[in-house]
A = this chain, B = another copy of it.
Amino acid sequence: MNTQDAGPGSPAGGVRPPLGVLAVVGVGLIGGSFAAALRKSGAVGRVLGAGRRPAPLALARRLGLIDEAVSLEEAARQADFILLAVPVGATQSILEQIGPHLRPHALVTDAGSTKADVVAAAYAALGERVGQFVPGHPVAGAEATGPEAARDDLYQGRTVVLTPLPENTEAARLRLRQAWEACGARVVSMQAQAHDAALASVSHVPHFLASVFMGQVAAAPDSDQRMALAGTGFRDFTRIAAGSPEMWRDIFLANRQAVLDELQQVRAALEQAEDSLRRRDGQALHDFLERAALARRFWGSRSGL
């Protein structure tokens, strides 16, 4: 649908959609799914796409995720609402490029999986305009990547964390919350620091451990024989280790201190459990396994995942 004739933000029919013109920087799984969900909900008018590489933009347009591929500057000039769905390391440079051209009422958010570094990048890049940037993180993902993996139901029932800045108006926070709710997500707000510590624990450390373990098995002299005997437990425990090395390297570096702090806690717990096994202390082993099993079963029954 090309609605250019009706003017930015207005569908040909008449009523202006609540979020106006959407621009998505990075039209992969995360950005493409956001565009698809908002378009389906009727919350956005035209959808612009921007990004480093032409091929995904062309594909996103063919798939109907975006109406037009534009430059960053053009996206800033036209959009009422901008989502950055790019590696967190690219945030500052993109904000520097769009900052001078932002419409005064435009809202900018991101989808980065670390927040303290994104907040620092936003202050550095936007200066007194930083109030227009509300940081966010949809806790959703899939093995798949690219525009072809985008789905309008990716965020259905998933959690989105907002880590608003003191400079964000109540209206801006509300507008962002409503956008994610229109995608079917559950929205929670917290401090960037608390977000990063929690994600270090439940997302980054599991990835680190799964990768360390997978690498250790693969490096063993008899790894072929071992892996021939690996079953469904191994499959699930190591699944995340197949993820993008580039993306995860950036996440670990961006959230370095929180990940290191958390790994230290895990190593202390590991040493204690190993000690029980070394001492053949069946009771202590049982208690440690039972606490873990009960916690996991409880989480499983509540999480809906």
Is chain A's binding surface mostly helix, strand, loop or mixed?
Answer: helix
Residues of B within 8 A of A305 (CB): 230-232, 235
Residues of B within 8 A of A235 (CB): 300, 303, 305
Interface 1/0 per residue, A259-298 and B, CB below 8 Å: 1100101110110011001101010011011111101110
Question: Is the Cβ of A252 less than 8 Å from the Cβ of B277?
Answer: yes
Question: Is the Cβ of A188 less than 8 Å from the Cβ of B228?
Answer: yes
Say whether A238 faces chain B, with CB atoms less than 8 Å apart. Answer: yes
Q: Which of B139, B223, B242 contacts A229 (CB 8 A)?
A: B139
Q: Cα distance A245–B288 when bound, in Å?
A: 8
Q: Cα distance A34–B206 when bound, in Å?
A: 35
Q: Which of B140, B209, B211, B273 contacts A289 (CB 8 A)?
A: B211
Kindly report which residue of chain B lies nearest to residue A142, judged by CB atoms.
B232
Residues of B within 8 A of A205 (CB): 213
Using known A-B contacts A231-B141, A256-B277, determine if residue A213 contacts B206 with beta carbons closer than 8 Å: yes
Residues of B within 8 A of A62 (CB): none
Number of interface residues of A (CB under 8 A): 91
**Stretch from A10-18, A121-129, A195-203 that touches the partner:** A195-203
**Stretch from A22-30, A65-73, A80-88, A214-222 that touches the partner:** A214-222
Q: Cα distance A212–B237 when bound, in Å?
A: 13
Question: Is the Cβ of B212 less than 8 Å from the Cβ of A225?
Answer: no
Question: Is the Cβ of B236 less than 8 Å from the Cβ of A260?
Answer: no
Using known A-B contacts A295-B214, A295-B218, A300-B242, determine if residue A161 contacts B229 with beta carbons closer than 8 Å: yes
Pairs across A and B, CB under 8 Å, 8 listed: A159-B228, A195-B229, A198-B222, A208-B273, A211-B273, A212-B266, A216-B265, A235-B300
Interface 1/0 per residue, A154-196 and B, CB below 8 Å: 0000110100000000000000000000000000101000110
Say whether A233 faces chain B, with CB atoms less than 8 Å apart. Answer: yes
Residues of chain A whose beta carbon lies under 8 Å from any beta carbon of chain B:
139-142, 158-159, 161, 188, 190, 194-195, 197-199, 201-203, 205-220, 222-223, 225-246, 248-249, 252-253, 256, 259-260, 263, 265-267, 269-270, 273-274, 277-278, 280, 282, 285-286, 288-293, 295-297, 299-300, 303, 305
Question: Is the Cβ of A202 less than 8 Å from the Cβ of B234?
Answer: yes
Question: Is the Cβ of A289 less than 8 Å from the Cβ of B198?
Answer: no
A217 to chain B, nearest CB (A): 6
Residues of B within 8 A of A199 (CB): 229
Kindly report which residue of chain B lies nearest to residue A140, judged by CB atoms.
B231
Residues of B within 8 A of A239 (CB): 233, 236-237, 296
Q: Which of B201, B241, B260, B263 contacts A293 (CB 8 A)?
A: B241
Question: Is the Cβ of A303 less than 8 Å from the Cβ of B215?
Answer: no
Residues of B within 8 A of A220 (CB): 201, 265
Q: Cα distance A148–B291 when bound, in Å?
A: 26
